[in-house]
Amino acid sequence: MSDHTEGPWAFGTPIDDDENGGQYRTLRGPQTWIGDIRANSKEDDANIRLIAAVTDLLVACEAMVHAAKMNDPAMGGVAATLAAAAIAKTSEDFAEPQTEGQDDG
């Protein structure tokens, strides 16, 4: 088991930052607050999506390494599917499902 917060990670809708101006989004694990991330530009939004996808990308990479070690084409197909899903999560068009407590400010 890893020392990081287990996935999946998800982000909430933008929240106004009254203290510093601009907006931020809250990043959460299944039952854990991970952090607040600035969300004032398209680049910030792309970074948020990439960060939220990191646990999915790790799972896909681990599956690829396992498939390569075992020379298992079927597992390679599963790993490719996991990787495609993780990459899709980084897309601007990805509709992130809201989870309980995501929009708590």
CA distance 16 to 40: 10
Residue 94 has what pLDDT? 66
CA distance 72 to 58: 19
Cα dihedral 91, 46, 24, 31 sign: positive
**Residue keyed to tokens 């597992």:** 75
Residue 105 has what pLDDT? 41
Q: What is the pLDDT along the chain (105 residues), one digit of tens a residue?
A: 468 888 889 888 888 887 878 898 999 999 889 999 888 888 988 888 899 889 899 889 989 898 888 888 888 888 888 888 888 888 877 665 544 444 444
With vertex at residue 40, the alpha carbon angle to CA 36 and CA 44, rounded to the nearest 5 degrees, is 70
Bridge partners, residue 36, by sequence:
26
CA distance 76 to 53: 20
